[in-house]
């Protein structure tokens, strides 16, 4: 499903993320699945049985599983269950999403727009570079050769490792 907006929060089901007040909030997959089910039927009551069949197909779970996901959604929406504005409990039946759902427009360009990598992604890409650089530095030190030539080799190895790691992680994220 494409990203959508509820109560000013942008949800990206493929990434299990929400963008709230400019901050990315990671969501549990089942909580996102529940929200997608409710968003697809906004304004309608979705029964517990339909939720179990949609979010937990073929798995036996208790009502506590739904309640935990609903609690996480209410926390995200900063909602009081006694005075719901977004997610209404229909006693002994299920839940209803009462807020409007707006689809996020996708760019019409055929060229994919790269997303900004997260800080954790940058560190994951840098870690192999640091390790290769340290190994190469130790090898240069142990060989006793001139630092000028070997420093160039260490820097070249670091640059190649960073480039390869970044390329591979990008390719893996795309698939």
pLDDT of residue 128 exceeding 60: yes
Write the pLDDT tens digit of every residue in 96-119. 999 999 998 765 544 455 555 555
Quick check: is 44 in a domain? yes
Write the pLDDT tens digit of every residue in 46-98. 999 999 999 888 888 888 999 999 999 999 999 988 888 999 999 989 999 99
Torsion of CA 69, 70, 73, 75, to 10 degrees: -110
Indicate whether 61 and 126 sit together in one domain: no
Indicate whether 90 and 39 sit together in one domain: yes
Residue 168: what pLDDT? 56
Domain count, the chain: 2
Residue 111: what pLDDT? 46
What is the pLDDT averaged over residues 17-35? 94
- What's the CATH code of the domain at 88? 1.10.10.10
List own/partner pairs for 131-139 with CB under 8 A and 24 or more apart.
132/157, 132/158, 132/161, 133/157, 133/158, 133/161
Percent of the chain at pLDDT > 70 equals 60
Quick check: is 59 in a domain? yes
Indicate whether 33 and 96 sit together in one domain: yes
Lowest mean pLDDT among 24-33, 107-116, 124-133, 145-154: 107-116
Residue 82: what pLDDT? 87
How far is 35 from 52, CA to CA, in rounded Å? 13
Indicate whether 15 and 69 sit together in one domain: yes
Torsion of CA 11, 17, 23, 25, to 10 degrees: 120
Find the domain containing 66 and state its range: 4-103
Report the candidate in 117, 107, 22 with the shortest Cα–Cα distance to residue 10. Answer: 22
pLDDT averaged over the chain?
79
Residue 107: what pLDDT? 56
Percent of the chain at pLDDT > 90 equals 48
Domain boundary among 43, 78, 103: 103
What is the pLDDT averaged over residues 33-38? 95
Quick check: is 54 in a domain? yes
pLDDT of residue 159 exceeding 80: no
Indicate whether 148 and 98 sit together in one domain: no
Quick check: is 113 in a domain? no
């Amino acid at each position: 499903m494409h990203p959508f907006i509820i109560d000013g929060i942008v949800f990206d089901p493929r990434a299990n993320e929400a963008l709230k007040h400019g901050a990315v909030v990671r969501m549990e997959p089942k909580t996102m699945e529940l929200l997608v089910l409710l968003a697809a039927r906004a304004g309608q009551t979705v029964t517990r049985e339909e939720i179990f069949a949609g979010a937990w197909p073929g798995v036996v779970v208790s009502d506590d599983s739904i309640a935990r996901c609903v609690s996480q959604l209410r926390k995200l929406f900063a909602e009081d269950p006694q005075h719901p504005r977004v997610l209404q409990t229909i006693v002994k039946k299920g839940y209803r999403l009462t807020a409007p759902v707006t689809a996020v427009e996708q760019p019409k360009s055929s060229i994919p727009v790269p997303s900004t990598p997260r800080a954790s992604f940058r560190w994951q890409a840098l870690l192999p570079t640091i390790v290769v650089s340290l190994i190469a530095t130790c090898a240069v030190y142990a060989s006793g050769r001139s630092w000028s030539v070997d420093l160039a080799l260490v820097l070249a190895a670091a640059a190649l490792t960073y480039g390869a790691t970044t390329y591979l992680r990008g390719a893996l994220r795309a698939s």
